[in-house]
Amino acid sequence: MLGFLKKLLGGGPSVDLDAVMQKGAVIVDVRTSGEYAGGHVKGSVNIPLASLGAQMGKLKKDKPVITCCASGMRSGSAKSMLQSNGFEVYNGGSWFNLKKYEK
């Protein structure tokens, strides 16, 4: 029961993003262009969630994708969209937590 609650509340086992980055992952920031301009992970790609469906072709399926936004909500939606289109994708949560992966 405890494991279920942790998973439900987001406290379950997390993905090793270091290992995903070593596979050549692309960080996709799904915040608006204005939010992105206010600060972002250097080397990330900005594709706002509202236009992700139309701009998905900018991404290649041969590399994993890590989505991020302000809090993790929009990046979770983006993860679902990309997964349903055949991408290997992980929700990185807040962009600020991914700054250590700057290129």
| 3-state SS assignment for residue 63 | coil
**CB contact at 8 A, 98 and 38:** no
Q: Which entry of 17, 41, 66, 69 is annotated as an active-site residue?
A: 69
Contacts 24+ apart (CB under 8 A), 11-18: 15/90, 17/66, 17/90, 17/92, 17/98, 17/101
Catalytic (active site) residue 68: no
Residues assigned a catalytic role: 69
